[in-house]
Structures are given as structure tokens and as C-alpha cells.
Amino acid sequence: MKETPKKTSGVFLAILALLILLPFFLSKAYLHLAVIIGVHAILALSLGMVVGFVGQLSLCHAGFYGIGAYTSALLTFSHWPFWLALPAAGIISGLFGLLIGLPALKTRGIYFAITTLSFGVIMNIMLNNWVSLTNGPDGLSGLALPDPIPLWAKTSISFNTPRNYYFLVGVLLLFTIFVCRRLLNSRVGRAFRGVRDNEVLAECLGIRALRYKLTAFTIGAIFAGLAGSLYAHYLRYICPRDFSFAESFDLLVMVVVGGAQTILGPIVGALFILALPKFFGFEPVYGRVAFGIILVVVMIYMPRGIVGSFQKGFPSPKGGAHGPS
Amino acid sequence: MEAAILLQQVANGLVIGSIYAMVALGLTLIFGILHIGNFAHGQLYMLGAFATYWLVSLWGWNIWSSMFVAMGLTALLGMVLERIAFRPVRSAPHINGLIVALGLFIALENIAFILWGGDERTLPSPYATKMITLLSISLTIQRLLVFAVSILLIFLLYLFIQKTKMGKAIRAVAQDPEVARLMGIPIHRVSSTVFAVSSALAAAAGAMVGPIFCVFPSMGLIPILKAFVVIVLGGMGSIPGAIFGGFILGVAESLGAGYISSEYKDAFAFAALILVLMVRPTGLFGKE
Amino acid sequence: MSKAKQTCFYFCWAFFFGLICSPADLLAQTSAGKGIKFGVSATLTGPASYLGWHDKNGTTLAAEEINERGGINLKGEKHKLELEFFDNETKPAKAVEGMRMFAEKGIHACAGPQLTPLAYAVIKFNEELKVIFGCYSTTPEVFEQGNKLILSATMNQKWSIGLAAYTAAKVLNLKKAALLVDTTGYGRAVEKHFTMNFKKFGGEVIAVEWYELKSTDFYPQLTRLKAKNPETLMFGGMSAEAVILIRQSREILGKKVLLIGSDYFKMEQLKKAGLEVSENTMIPLSGFHIIDSPARQSFYKKFQDRFRAEAETYGACAHDEVLWISRAMEIAGTNIDAFKIREAADQAMRELEAKGLLIGGAHGGFLPNGQAKKYYIGTNILRDGKLERLKMITDLKEIGLE
């Protein structure tokens, strides 16, 4: 990615300023939408770690999202404070990521995609049918809000408004972006790229592909779990349908349409996909037709995704938004 | 009694397996030749069923001629989709093709919903109501026909791929597209033909299955998901793989639901897939 | 990049920016004027889109009905009723967004969200937003969360399944039942209530089999059930699978086993499956399908003429929601104070019922938790191609429940 550093940080700061000021101008309904978009931006970025960094198509990401949400919910029912439940959700999701990644990453390409799809469906069925643990299809209601953060002089930041939650999500999103950048610009990141672009060659150079793929997969799961916890304590109600394979597909679309090999891409993708229905509010079914057509058009004319099409630099061997399948 | 039930469950599985195999055949063809995971295949199945339905109920044609015409119409649609949506992404990373297919899937399903509403319709067939019982297995004639027609189509496809000139061209492109092009094989025409054949197969499946399971716009989702599972189980691009994979999945589901738990029926199918892939990461008949 | 691609590229960007910048509700209906807005939160897309379609049409007919009579009369002034639709995409987060959007537009009454998960999500917020809504969820727990601004348009499984169990056990004297239910909340509730009540009335559930929503093949489950020789088989699914369920059950189980549908089975499904095949099938019919009033017939005909499809309970319930909330607005003299509207809702329902205008089946006024006091429900069996009424109740006490 060749961009002049000054230019990007300038643009970045401007957007950041805009996003910080935005909640003071948006109505609560739009703030609500912004929170949901923010959560999905974190989710899409976490999937981007798997799809973009190491070039593997994962279709079980909504499962990790769900595990994070349910873990967080069940922990807070057992009187854990949200601020402990949040990282715990990430860790438990990460553990599942590890457990699933180990067998799944024996396969590649479309085989990997369908293997992860299978795991995702099984996770969803467990959430739905294990009624004694998850309350089944009716979901878990009455989840707690995050505990207020005490500030000076007996005031505190409470999270019962979309605006404050927006900032919470924003902070976590920035954290996710930060982690992504550090990863990508490190030795680990270079190894990721090597594995993505040419796994066989990477192996020859002594990079243990499986280890790096598993790392990316697990970290992706951790952040999906964090997103799940954020979602659960915002809406204060979760049900298995929120975490179905349809959601996994949506996330994949966000990543690829946004631009899989970029950091901004999945975020833009999330914004695009979630804001699009607003445009067709008057005739939603026609809107879905248009959505399908838009997907086709974007993929044909912007094969590296919306953000990716603006990036210069060498395309990877198979050309475009994503490495070899 | 126990044996009778087992036989019935196996028969159930084989019938469903043949449906999966029929849908998976078209899918594996496209994937093997063009490396596109054509998710929209599920909607071609649905449209084939609807086309048959309209021909039978509006114009009173008999089900066989309706099915043939529906196959033809769907083949045409498949070729159109190939030309405008899939050809431009053929050389792009495979994920792009998948997203294009997904976009078409969503668009086509909602167009059908707008045109025909969400209500389920019964495709009338004289074979759907009569039952026969052989060796303590009870099946409707329609189910037997599904099985028989799928075997027939598999055989016809085999003849096509192995014995015709176009079939040879298809095999060449599957082996190595670059070399095939250098040898003068018209890739575009091969691509179109593969889509046409695949779509016709999907339409046939929809037409045969319509009388059993009703026709409605969202009928394509579960078959296409299962078809993806089947082609991965059997090995991408492998026709015997699609066939065996389909039957294995069908029987596994049937026995799993019949003897272990129906609550987790789908989980068994997917778990079976995972187990197979752990042992053979490219499917039963897949190439490394 | 070729010229063509470049142009497309920029076009896509322009579209994308336009999309993000346009507060898209400008494109939605915005008629200025003195009309009163009424929200409709419907699942117009997503897995439950067939429900949303019926909600949209049912509420449309209700609004027309009200406007034909001059509209809503608030404190002496007549206002036209205007519906504002919101697609909640069958997603809980979207349903909450819809509720917030309504509140911000000064809409404090709506029909829907109707589905259980959506209702659960929304009841956290609607009191704070002061929006009253009608809901036809059949899950009793939704109405037991203490929410003060929810009104129920249909009975829950206690009623429909309780009556089905009663009829099978006490009226038809059957002892061994099997269940084939879907794994959604609806199906599970059917299983729970049928098992409990069938036992209470002297029978026993000998086998339970499950299926995923939208399944189409039940042969494995039915083959397994056949071995246990049930006298009756109860389905806990939505009407979309009904036709297939009836046919396949007859194919595997034969004609002697009584089939029992749950609350969304209707005569239409029996006809589609074939009257001969559906012989000896029992269906609980609620509200819309039992009330034979001029209002119902007119609704049915209008629906058929306008939308070229048969009206169903969903649309009828949504229709009633619009009617009684609007009437409650008139009595309370406000379209904005949701709590006052709620206070007037009980009287509103009873007035409408007295005039014969309700078609969904709920009647008798509202309980404090939002459920209606009474529902019409009856069990009917198909014999010789005709539906015979076996038992009808409007009160659970009639069959010894509650």
C-alpha cells in the first residue's frame, strides 16, 4: 500500500474529528444505527483478519460473534460486571476459534469455506436447541447495561444512551484498527502476507503457514467475541437468529465489497451494507432486488472492493481483492 | 419390523440423496470448469420449478413437456447470467464470483417474491398421489421418479462429457484453461455451454421435486446449501463425487434423524462433512 | 482501466456517497398535512416476509376503513390516518431502530413488531420512547415482562394448543399422541403446552420429533413415529409446511391417524393438500376464521380483490390493532400520549366489538398485561370434505385451564 504518510494521517484525523462530532448532531435513531454499524465494523474487521490477512474464506464468523454475545450475557447473569465479561467473551470466542481453526485449517479454499460454514451451522443449532443453557430460540432478555464508569466529582459515564454507547463502540473500533495496523506492519504481518500470496513458497521459506493462519483465525474470533459482547449489552436482548449463517454471509459481503486487503475496507463495507436499506425504505423488497444487483455491479467494476479500488500497489498473484483461493 | 424401518429410512435417504445429487451436479460442473461457486444455482432450481408450475397450471401441459420447456428456458437464463454477470469476474479472485452469485441469488429470489408472492403452490403431478410398496418400503411414485430421473440425467451427463466433442472441450478446460485456450478451444462457448447444461439440470431437479415439496420463492436456499456441502464432500469438480456425496448426505441425514435425533438432523449432516474433510481435505474424489 | 470501467467506477462512488449522505426517509412517504401518522413495523424482507406482506395489507385496509368513516376524531377535529411503514427485516436491532424512528417522528402508536424476538428487543425501549404497539406474538412470556405499552392481538399457545389437547383427549377420546414440531420458539411452545395439557386430560405423548424451519422432507421423522403407533399426530409448524406435512403424514402413517394442525393451519391448506388426503385432520381455528360477520366478509373480499390472495389471521390481527389503537386515541383525546391511549384501549376494544368491527378474534377488553380477556377459538375436523366444529370456547375456564 503506497500512500504518502502525511496525506493519510491528515485524512484520517479529519474523519476521526467528524466521527467524534457526529453524535452531537444525529438523532437517537440514527445513533442507534451508528452503534450497530460500529459493532459490525469491528466484526467485519475481525473477519478481514482472516479473509484479508491470510486469504481464507471463513463462513462461521457469526458463530464467534454469537459465542461472545452469549458468554457475555450468561456471565453478567452470574453477576460478573460488564467490564470483565467483555474481555472474557473475547477470550472464550478466541478459544472456540482455536478449537475450530485447528481442524478447519487443514482444508483450503472452498473446502475451508464450507467446513467453516458447517461449524457455523452447528454452533447456531447448538445455540438454538440447548435450551437449558441459552433459553433456545426465544433468546436471552434483560441483559444488563455496562456499569457506569466513575469520573471525578461523583459524576460518571453511564451507557444507557445511544450516544455514550456510540463512543464505547468507537473506542473499541479504534482499538481494533490499532491492533490490525500493528499486526500488519510487524513481522507477523509480513508472514501473513507471505502465506496469503503464495503458501507453498512461504512454507519453503520456513514460514509455518498453519501456525500463522491459526493465529489470524483466533485473533479474528477474539474480536468477533468482543463485538458480540458489545452488541448484547447494547440491545439487551439476543437470540440465535442474530448469529445465523445468513449473518456470516453478510459479514463476508461487507469485507469483500469494502475491500478485503485493507483496513478501511471492511469498515466501509459495513457502513455500505447497513446503510443501503435506508435508501430503499419505501419499497424494501425492491430494495433487496437492487441490493443484489448492486453487489453484482460492484464486484464486476470494483473487483478489489470499494476501498481497494483506490489503493495502488501490486495486486496479489491471482489479482484483486483477495489472494489465491 | 426393525429391518423394515431401516429399509424405509435408507430408501428415504436415497430419494433425498438423488435430489441433492441432481442439484449438486450442475454446481460441481460450474465449479470444476470455471471455479465459480454459483450460489445463484439455487434460484435456477426455483425458477425451473416455477416455469414448470405455470406451464402446467396455466396452459394445462403435461408435466414432462413442461419440464423440458422449463429446462430450456432456464438454460437460456443461465447463459444470459453467465454472459452479463459471471464472465466479467472469471479472471478475478474466486471470492468475487461467489459474491456475484450471492447478489444474483438475492435479486432473483426477491423478483420471484414480487411477481408471485410468498405462498407455497402445489405443482400438480399425476404421480404425486399414488403410492407403491415394495419390500415393505412405501414411496410415492413421484419419489421413485425423482430417483430414476436423477440416475438418467447422471447417465446422460456422463455420455455428454465423455463422448461428445463439447464434452472433451469441457474436460480440457477443467484440466487447464490456459493450455486449452492455446489449443484453440473457445473458452467462451465452453463457459456458456456449461452454464446452460448446469441450469437445465437445476430446472429438472426443481420440476421433479416441485410436486413433492411445493413451489415457492425461497425454496432454493436449503437445496443450494446442501449442494455446496455435497460437492465439497465429494470433491470439487468431480461428478462421481457429487453423486456419491449426494447419496451419502441423504442417507446420513435420514439415518441420523431416524435413529439418533431429529432435533439435530442438520447438525449431523454438517458434522459428517467435517469428519470426511478431516480425513480427506479435498473431499472423497477431489484432486489435491 | 478502460474508459467504461472508469466511468462506472466513478458512478459507483457518486452513488455510494449520495447514498450515505441522503437521509433516505426523504424518499419515504412525506405528506405534509393534518393527518395522524400510525406506524407499521413489519417484516417486509427476511425469512418472515410473508407475514410482513400480510401485515402491510391488513393495516392498509384498516386505515382505509377508518378514513372512509371520516378519519380519527380527536377533540372534535377529524384527521386522516396515515400509515408509515418500516421494514424491520426480521432483525431485533432493526425493530428497535424502527421504534426509535417512529418516536422521533412523533409517531407514538404502531402495529408491530409482531414477532416474538422482535417484541422482546423492543419492549426494553418502547416505554422510554412512549410508543404503544400491537403484537400478535403467541409467546405468553412476551406479555409477562411487565411492559405497559404492549397490546396482544392473538391468543397464545395456552389457548390453541390447550384446546387441541382437550379436544383430542376428551372429545375424541384418544390416548396416544405423537408430536412433529419445528425447533423455533413457536414449535417448542407447542410441544410444551400440548404435552402438559394432553397429560392433564388423560392422554400421553409417546414420541416427539423435530424439524428445522423451512424443511420440506419429513419422511425420516415420520418413519420413526410410525413405529410407535400413535393414534394422533400433532404438528407445531407454520402454515407454509402444512400442505407438505399433511400429505407426507398420510403417505407414511395412513388414514386412521388423526392429524392435528396448530393455530396457523387453515381450510386453505387442507384444500391445497387435497380434501381426500386431509380427511380426518383437525385444525384449531381462531378468530378470523370463525367469526362470520359482515366486517370479516368485507375484509376477506377486499383483500382478495386488491391483493389477489386469501386473507389470513396475520393481516386480520394487524387490522384490529390499527382499529383499537385509533379508537383509543379518540377516547383519550391524544395521539401522542401513549400511556393515556393505553388506558383507553380497554374501552376502545369493547366498543369496536359491540359494533362488530373486530375480525381478529380478540375481544372482551384487555388485561393489565396487554393480553385480551377473550379469544374466539374452536377445533374443527374435516369429515367428508367439510369442516365439523368439535368444540369452541371463548374462555379458558370452559376447559378447565387457568
Q: Which residue of B has its CA nearest to A125?
A: B267
C188 touches chain A (CB under 8 A): yes
* Among A270-284, C8-22, C254-268, C288-302, the range of highest mean pLDDT: C288-302
Instruction: Examine residue B46 and state whether it is found in any structural domain, yes or no.
Output: yes
Cα-based torsion angle of the residue sequence A234, A239, A241, A243 in order, rounded to the nearest 10 degrees: 60
- Chain C nearest CA to B167, separation (Å): 34
Using alpha carbons, select from C402, C336, C375, C276 the residue that is nearest to residue C109: C336
Q: How many CA atoms, within 13 angstroms, populate the side-chain half-sphere of residue C193?
A: 26
Contact B236 A110 (CB under 8 A): yes
| Residue B285 included in any domain | no
- Closest C-alpha among C184, C192, C201 to residue C238: C184
Q: How far is CA C33 from the centre of its chain?
A: 32
Cβ distance of B9 and C220 shorter than 8 Å: yes
Say whether residue C6 is in contact with chain A using an 8 A CB cutoff.
no
A305 contacts in chain B (CB < 8 Å): none
Among the ranges given (A7-16, A61-70, A183-192), the one the predictor scored with the smallest mean pLDDT: A7-16
B 12-71 residues with CB < 8 A to A: 31, 35, 37
Smallest Cβ–Cβ distance between C92 and the set A131, A242, A277 belongs to A242
CATH code, residues C157-262+267-287+377-399? 3.40.50.2300
Distance from CA of C251 to the nearest CA of B (A): 7
Residue C15 has what pLDDT?
66
From B150's Cα to the closest Cα of chain A, the distance in A is 25
* Chain B residues lying within 8 Å of A109, measured CB to CB: 94
Nearest to B100 among A115, A291, A299 (CB): A299
Q: What percent of chain C has pLDDT over 90?
A: 62
With the C-alpha atoms ordered A96, A97, A102, A104, is the resulting torsion angle positive or negative?
Answer: positive
CB-CB under 8 Å, B214 with C244:
yes
In this predicted structure, the answer to whether residue B88 has a pLDDT above a threshold of 60 is yes
Q: Is A301 in Cβ contact with C5 (below 8 Å)?
A: yes
A118 and B270: CB-CB below 8 Å?
yes
Q: Quote the percentage of chain A above a pLDDT of 90.
A: 54
Contact A284 C117 (CB under 8 A): no
For B219-229, how does the pLDDT look when each residue is reduced to its tens digit (9 = 90+)? 999 899 999 99
Domain C36-155+312-370 is classified in which CATH homologous superfamily? Response regulator (3.40.50.2300)
Report how many domains make up chain B.
Answer: 1
Helices assigned H by DSSP within A78-208: 82-104, 109-129, 131-134, 162-184, 187-197, 199-204
Domain boundaries, chain C: 36-155+312-370, 157-262+267-287+377-399
Single-letter amino acid, residue C354: A
Enter the pTM of the model. Answer: 0.90
B3 touching C (Cβ < 8 Å): no
Q: What mean pLDDT is predicted for residues C41-70?
A: 93
Span C148-174, average pLDDT: 91
Question: What integer pLDDT is reported at residue A70 of this predicted model?
Answer: 96
Distance between CA atoms of residues B159 and B146, nearest Å:
20
Q: Beta-carbon neighbour count of residue C2 at 10 Å? A: 7
Q: Which residue of chain B comes nearest to C222, CA vs CA?
A: B258
Question: What would the pLDDT profile of C339-397 be if each residue is shown by its tens digit?
Answer: 999 999 999 999 999 999 999 989 999 999 999 999 888 999 999 989 899 988 888 88
Angle between helices A162-184 and A209-235 (to 10 degrees): 170
Residues of B whose CB is below 8 A from A253: 99, 102
Q: How far apart are CA C172 and CA C391, in angstroms?
A: 11
Cell of C303: 383483500
User: Domain of B248?
Assistant: 2-279
Residues 91-110 of B with CB under 8 A from C: 110
CB contacts < 8 A (A, B): 144
Cβ separation B212–C309 shorter than 8 A: no
Question: What residues contact B178, with CB distance under 8 A and at least 6 apart?
Answer: none
Check CB contact of C49 with chain A, cutoff 8 Å: yes
How many interchain CB pairs under 8 A, B with C? 87
Tens of pLDDT, residue by residue over C57-81, are 999 999 999 999 999 999 888 999 9
* Residue type at C81 in one-letter notation: L
Write out pLDDT tens, residues A82-97. 999 999 999 999 999 9
Distance CA(C115)–CA(C138), nearest Å, equals 8
> Same topology for domains C36-155+312-370 and C157-262+267-287+377-399, yes or no?
yes
Percentage of chain B beyond pLDDT 70 is 100
**Closest alpha carbon to B122 in C242, C217, C156:** C242
pLDDT at residue B203, rounded to an integer: 96
Per the prediction, chain C carries an average pLDDT of 88
CA pair distance A6, C127, nearest whole angstrom: 49
The answer as to whether B87 is a domain residue is yes
In a domain, B110, yes or no: yes
For the ranges A281-285, A317-321, C207-211, the lowest mean pLDDT is seen at A317-321
Residue pair C218/C244 in contact (Cβ under 8 Å)? The answer is yes
Average pLDDT of A140-151?
86
- Residue B288 covered by a domain: no
Q: Which residue of C has its CA nearest to B137?
A: C252
Tell me if chain A has a CB within 8 Å of the CB of C215: no
pLDDT of residue C29: 43
Residues of chain C numbered 286-345 and touching chain A (CB < 8 Å)? none
Residue B23 lies in a domain: yes
Mutation pick from A57, A112, A114 vs chain B, by most beta carbons of B within 10 Å, is: A114
Q: What does the alpha-carbon distance between residue C38 and residue B1 come to, in Å, rounded to a whole number?
A: 61
- Element (DSSP H or E) covering residue A16: helix A5-21
Secondary element (H or E) of residue C386: strand C386-393
Contacting residues of B for C223, CB less than 8 Å apart:
5, 8-9, 12, 258
- CB < 8 Å & 24+ apart, contacts of C135-144: C135/C321, C136/C313, C136/C314, C136/C317, C136/C318, C136/C321, C136/C360, C138/C186, C138/C189, C138/C263, C139/A138, C139/C185, C139/C186, C139/C189, C140/C371, C141/A138, C142/C116, C143/C369, C143/C370, C143/C371, C144/C369
User: Does the beta-carbon distance from A111 to B31 stay under 8 Å?
Assistant: no
Let me know if residue B275 belongs to a domain.
yes
CB–CB contact C120 A139 (8 Å)? yes
> Is there a contact between A27 and C8 if contact means CB atoms under 8 Å apart?
no
CATH code: domain of residue B54: 1.10.3470
What's the confidence (pLDDT) of residue A319? 41
* B283 compared with C319, residue with greater pLDDT: C319
B192 touches chain C (CB under 8 A): no
| Amino acid sitting at position B196 | A
Measured CA to CA, the distance from residue B195 to residue B81 in angstroms comes to 9
Residues of chain B found within 8 Å of residue A258, distances taken between Cβ atoms: none
DSSP A144: P
Least CB-CB distance to B258: which of C210, C212, C224?
C224
Give the residue-averaged pLDDT of A19-42. Answer: 91
Summarize pLDDT for B235-245 with one digit per residue, the tens: 888 888 999 99
Taking residues A49-77, what's their average pLDDT?
93
A8/C282: higher pLDDT: C282
The residue that leads in pLDDT, B235 or C113, is: C113
Cβ–Cβ gap C16/A272 under 8 Å: yes
| Residues in chain C closer than 8 A to B107 (CB atoms) | none
Q: Would you say how long chain B is, in residues?
A: 288
**A299, A318, A325: best to mutate for the B interface, most B CBs within 10 A:** A299
Q: How confident is the model at residue A185 (pLDDT cuts 50, 70, 90)?
A: confident
In chain B, which among 69-128 make CB contacts under 8 A with chain A? 85, 88-89, 91-100, 102-108, 110-111, 113-114
Q: What is the DSSP letter of C231?
A: S
Whether the CB of C197 is below 8 Å from some CB of chain A: the reply is no
pLDDT tier, C3 (very low <50, low <70, confident <90, very high otherwise): low
Question: Would the CB atoms of B110 and A294 count as touching at under 8 Å?
Answer: no
* Contact assignment for A138 to C90 by CB distance below 8 Å: no
Confirm whether B164 is domain-assigned: yes
What's the rounded Cα separation, in Å, for the pair C114 and C321? 11
Report the pLDDT value the prediction gives residue C20, as an integer from 0 to 100: 59
pLDDT category of residue A109 using cuts at 50, 70 and 90? confident
Tell me if B252 sits within 8 A of C198, measured CB to CB.
no
Q: Which member of C216, C223, C272 has the closest CB to residue B5?
A: C223
Which value, in Å, is the radius of gyration of the alpha carbons in chain C?
Answer: 23
- With 0-12 / 13-18 / 19 or more C-beta atoms within 10 angstroms meaning exposed / middle / buried, residue A21 is exposed
